[in-house]
């Protein structure tokens, strides 16, 4: 990746977005505005998360989402906040969300963009002060710019993303995103209400020694994954698993490692969602020099057939992902 593209640490997110826009002579500023809308929603959600224990928004909401998962109050709050910001911003015609059964039409008939999001990732960690996140993908609509976006607009392959990112609400809050020219990370300074560039042009290590999966499920992992985990143990790799995909991904991105959510008895297609979780992180890891597959196929090449479909995920340092695939291929031949 060209280092000339890097801006100095300390640049505000707003200035960064503006400078990037200037590099594209025909840019209309709509994508820039959309990124600003996301940053605004992030600040609001960050505020709610930080004081969650004090304002009674921890715990169950009392309903299940379309995937039969218990919604947490913060899942619902984050979903509302992001939808509101994107609707008011005007650049997005259609939103799809992990927390919504159907597509959401914003009424912005001239909006050129589609947003797919997991408004709050890592629900089970909300009540215990462990890092949680938000994941988003941005697509250009394929249908004519007038009226509602279509289901086809929403089911584009991950390779068509024009931008993708995540927010990690951790020991500090960070926004990490790519528009296809490398990955940049911004840290939130709450007293100023600003994101500042703190991690320019992130590259993931080619190889690492962290592996992240829910080892409690090992008995029902495919044999190739079991063999790979055994290999990690033999090599004395460190097992690191938070149970918030964003947090596990972020650590491995910076330090080098591999995250695996393979098929299990309970979730035969894996647990993670192709459209809301896997695609965005796959674009980011590739832009940072890493890899993302479902065990054999590149995530970004998969064409979703339904909004909420699940997909196995192997993502992280490229040599580690290759190794996992090697183990899976070997077991496939042995059967
Ligand atoms: P979400 O909170 O958006 O439903 O996502 C939870 C996901 C992901 O964040 C995490 O990596 C995974 O679930 C953990 O699953 P297990 O508890 O099965 O390990
Ligand atoms: Mn999630
Ligand atoms: Mn979620």
User: Over the stretch 35-64, which tens digit does the pLDDT of each residue have?
Assistant: 999 999 999 999 999 988 887 878 888 888
Nearest to 115 by CA among 85, 152, 86: 86
In the chain, where does DSSP find H-type helix? 13-22, 30-50, 73-89, 151-154, 223-234, 245-255, 279-287, 318-334
Interval between CA 243 and ligand 1 midpoint (Å): 6
Residue 303 confidence (pLDDT) above 80: yes
pLDDT tens digits for range 207-247: 999 999 999 999 999 999 999 999 999 999 999 999 999 99
Interval between CA 245 and ligand 1 midpoint (Å): 6
Please name the residue that has the structure tokens 């715990």.
59
Please give the number of the atom of ligand 1 that sits closest to the Cα of 264.
Answer: 18
Please name the residue that has the structure tokens 């703190």.
198
Please give the number of the atom of ligand 1 that sits closest to the Cα of 246.
Answer: 9
Please give the number of the atom of ligand 1 that sits closest to the Cα of 67.
Answer: 4
Tokens found for residue 322: 């290759």
Interval between CA 122 and ligand 1 midpoint (Å): 5
> Which of 78, 213, 243, 262 best tests ligand 1's pocket when mutated (most atoms within 8 Å of CB)?
243
CA distance 4 to 19: 13
Domain extent listing, the chain: 8-199, 210-334
> Which of 123, 130, 215, 273 best tests ligand 1's pocket when mutated (most atoms within 8 Å of CB)?
123
CA distance 270 to 265: 9
Please give the number of the atom of ligand 1 that sits closest to the Cα of 242.
Answer: 11
CATH architecture of the domain 8-199 equals 2-Layer Sandwich (3.30)
Would strands 210-212 and 104-105 be described as parallel, antiparallel, or unpaired?
Answer: unpaired
Indicate the DSSP class of residue 123.
G
- Residue 294's SS3 state is coil
Nearest CA to ligand 1 atom 12: 243
**Which pLDDT value is given to residue 268?**
95
User: Which residues make Cβ contacts (< 8 Å) with residue 239, sequence separation at least 6?
Assistant: 210, 211, 212, 215, 232
Query: What residues does ligand 1 touch, defined as CB less than 6 Å away?
Result: 69, 98, 118, 121-123, 214, 243-245, 271
**Which pLDDT value is given to residue 334?**
66
CATH class of 210-334: alpha beta
Domains 8-199 and 210-334 share a fold: no
CA distance 289 to 299: 15
> Which of 82, 272, 313 best tests ligand 1's pocket when mutated (most atoms within 8 Å of CB)?
272
Please give the number of the atom of ligand 1 that sits closest to the Cα of 121.
Answer: 3
**Which pLDDT value is given to residue 4?**
52
Q: How many Cβ atoms sit within 10 Å of the Cβ of residue 6?
A: 14
Tokens found for residue 225: 């994954």
> What φ, ψ does residue 90 adopt, rounded to 5°?
90, -5
Q: What is the mean pLDDT of the chain?
A: 94
């Amino acid at each position: 990746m060209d280092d000339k593209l890097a801006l100095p640490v300390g640049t505000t997110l707003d200035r960064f977005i503006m400078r990037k826009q200037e590099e594209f002579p025909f840019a209309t500023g709509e994508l820039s505005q959309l990124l600003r809308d996301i940053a605004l929603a992030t600040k609001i959600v960050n505020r709610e998360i930080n004081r969650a224990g004090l304002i009674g928004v921890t715990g169950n909401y009392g309903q299940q989402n379309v995937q039969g998962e218990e919604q947490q109050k913060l899942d619902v709050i984050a979903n509302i906040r992001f939808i509101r910001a994107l609707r008011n911003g005007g650049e997005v015609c259609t939103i799809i969300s992990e927390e919504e059964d159907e597509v959401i039409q914003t009424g912005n008939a001239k909006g050129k963009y589609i947003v797919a999001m997991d408004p709050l990732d890592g629900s089970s960690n909300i009540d215990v002060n462990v890092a949680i996140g938000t994941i988003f993908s941005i697509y250009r609509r394929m249908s004519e710019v007038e009226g509602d976006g279509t289901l086809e607009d929403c089911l584009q392959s991950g390779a068509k993303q024009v931008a993708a990112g995540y927010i990690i609400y951790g020991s500090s809050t960070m926004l990490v995103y790519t528009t296809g020219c490398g990955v940049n990370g911004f840290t939130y300074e709450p007293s100023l209400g600003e994101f500042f560039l703190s991690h320019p042009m992130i590259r993931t290590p080619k190889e690492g020694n962290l592996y992240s999966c829910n080892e409690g499920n090992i008995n029902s992992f495919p044999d190739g994954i079991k063999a790979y985990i055994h290999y990690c143990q033999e090599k004395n790799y460190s097992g690191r698993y938070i149970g918030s995909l964003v947090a596990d991904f972020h650590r491995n991105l910076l330090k080098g490692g591999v995250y695996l959510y393979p098929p299990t008895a309970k979730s035969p297609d894996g647990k993670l969602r192709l459209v809301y979780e896997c695609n965005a992180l796959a674009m980011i890891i590739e832009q940072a020099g890493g890899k993302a597959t479902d065990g054999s196929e590149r995530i970004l090449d998969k064409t979703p057939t339904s909004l909420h479909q699940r997909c196995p995920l192997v993502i992280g340092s490229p040599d580690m992902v290759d190794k996992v695939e090697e183990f899976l291929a070997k077991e496939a031949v042995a059967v």
